[in-house]
Amino acid sequence: MVDAKLPAVTPVKFDAFDFLARFAPLIFLIVLMAVFAIMEPRFLSSLNLFNVMRQVSIVGLLALGMTFVILTAGIDLSIGSLLAFAGLVAAAVSKGGLSNRFTVGEGQDALGYAWYLAALAAIGVGIIGGYLQGFAITRLKVPPFVVTLGGMSAFRGAALLFAAGGPISGFEPNMVWWGQGKIGPLPLLGWQIPVPVIIFLSFAVLAHVVLRYTRYGRQVYAVGGNSEAARLSGLNVRAVTTSVYVIMGFFAGLGAFVLAARLNSAEAVAGTGYELTVIASVVIGGTSLFGGVGTIFGTVIGTILIGVLLNGLVLMNVSSYVQQIIIGVIIVLAVAFDTFAKSRRRTK
Partner 1 sequence: MTTPSLRVSKISKSFPGVHALVDVNLEVAKGEIHALLGENGAGKSTLLKILSGAQPPDSGEMEFAGQPLVLANPHDAQRLGIVTIYQEFTLAPNMTVAENVFIGREPGSGVFVNWKEMASRTRSIIKSIGLDIDPMTLVHDLSVAEQQLVEIARALSMQSRLIIMDEPTSALSSKEVTKLFGIVRALKSQDVSIIFVTHRLEEVLELCDNYTVLRDGRQVGSGPIAGTTIDDLIRMMVGRQANALFHHEHHSTARPEVALSIKDLSRRGNARDPHATVLDNVSLFVRKGEILGLAGLVGAGRTELARAIFGADPFASGQIYIGKKLAVIASPQDAIRNGIGLVPEDRKQQALFLSLAIKMNVSMASLSHLKSWELFVDERAEEQMVEEFRRALNIRMAGPRQLVANLSGGNQQKVVLARWLALRPQVLIVDEPTRGIDVGAKVEVHNLLFEMAASGIAIIAISSELPEILAISDRIVTMREGKVTGEIDRAAATQEILLSMMTVGASKAA
CB 230 within 8 A of CB 221: no
Measured in whole angstroms, the distance separating CA 345 from the mean position of its chain's CA atoms is: 27
339 counts as binding partner 1 under rule CB under 8 A? no
Beta-bridge partners for 266 = 168
Among 234, 317, 320, 321, binds partner 1 (CB under 8 A): 234
* Binding status of residue 232 toward partner 1 by CB under 8 A: yes
Cβ proximity to partner 1: between 136 and 230 the closer is 230
Angle between helices 320-347 and 296-315 (to 10 degrees): 150
Pick the binder of partner 1 from 99, 105, 215, 321 (CB under 8 A).
215
Compute the distance between CA of residue 226 and CA of residue 220 in angstroms, rounded to an integer: 10
Q: Which of 27, 205, 206, 229 binds partner 1 (CB under 8 A)?
A: 229
Does 211 interact with partner 1 (rule: CB under 8 A)?
no
Residue 71 or 123: which CB sits closer to partner 1?
71
Stretch of 3-11, 145-153, 274-282, 310-318 contacting partner 1, by CB under 8 A: 3-11
Binding of residue 226 to partner 1 (CB under 8 A): yes
Neighbour-count burial of 182, counting CB atoms closer than 10 A to its CB (0-12 exposed, 13-18 middle, 19+ buried): middle
Tell me the C-alpha distance between 56 and 300, whole Å. Answer: 10
What is the SS3 assignment for 273?
coil
* String of contacts with partner 1 for each residue 102-141, x by CB under 8 A: ----------------------------------------
As a whole number of angstroms, the longest Cα–Cα distance in the chain is 82
Angle separating helix axes 115-138 and 144-162, nearest 10 degrees: 140
Q: Is 16 in the site for partner 1 (CB under 8 A)?
A: no
CA distances (Å), origin 217, targets 6, 12, 207, 270: 33, 27, 9, 31
Residue 236 lies near partner 1 (rule: CB under 8 A): yes
- Over the window 279 to 318, marking each residue x when it contacts partner 1 by CB under 8 A and - when it does not, the resulting string is ---------x---xx-------------------------
Residues in contact with partner 1 by CB under 8 A are 1, 3, 7, 9-12, 213-216, 218-219, 221-222, 225-226, 228-236, 288, 292-293, 345, 348
